[in-house]
Amino acid sequence: MQAARGTSLSPDDSSLTDTRSHPSGLAVRSLLVLCFALPYAVDQLTKWLAVDRLTGEPDRSLVGDLLVLHLTRNAGAAFSTGTGYTELFSVLAIIAVCVVLWLSRRVRSLLWAAAFGLLLAGILGNLTDRVFRDPGVLRGHVVDFLMLPNWPVFNVADVCINVAAALILIQAFRAVRLDGTRAEKDEDGAHAAGDAE
């Protein structure tokens, strides 16, 4: 039996949900995979090229003094901090990957999918170095090769992490949940669920 206005009495009846304003699950998953796979591949390829072409070579200018290729290996975290805790950073990265994968199951928003895909690409890009590069498993040094003026040397994985962080902040500022709905204030100031992207 249905109510007079045609709505189901069962709040869990998903067959009547209007999906026109929401992307399909396939589109969300596809974007997440694309935003992971492509940047991860670019990160690994550019690191391989940097080690192959820049080892023992002087710095190379890409855009004057604005962007320079400068090969370095980082045993620590961001800004080369904590160089004595490489194994700890590796374990934390593994935990972060697991958390992102767990949360990704709930994503129904294209912007969240892009953020999580880029975040995975960045974390796994640097974790791959920690696992497979010298001096050993979970102790490997991350290859960095992009240098801006007055800024620590970085790589493509670092760029992915920063872009992902920016997207996550945008979604948090807009109060968009992982499922794509947005909490909006009603006239009384209380939050109510609404549609978002």
What are the residue numbers of the active site?
Answer: 144, 158
The count of other CB atoms within 10 Å of the CB of residue 165 is 14
Query: Which DSSP letter does residue 80 get?
Result: G
Q: How far apart are CA 124 and CA 107, in angstroms?
A: 19
User: Which pair of tokens denotes residue 65?
Assistant: 């003094």
Report yes or no: 79 and 152 within 8 Å, Cβ to Cβ.
yes
> Cα separations (Å) of 151 from 1, 79, 164?
65, 9, 19
Report yes or no: 129 and 188 within 8 Å, Cβ to Cβ.
no
Report yes or no: 157 and 143 within 8 Å, Cβ to Cβ.
no
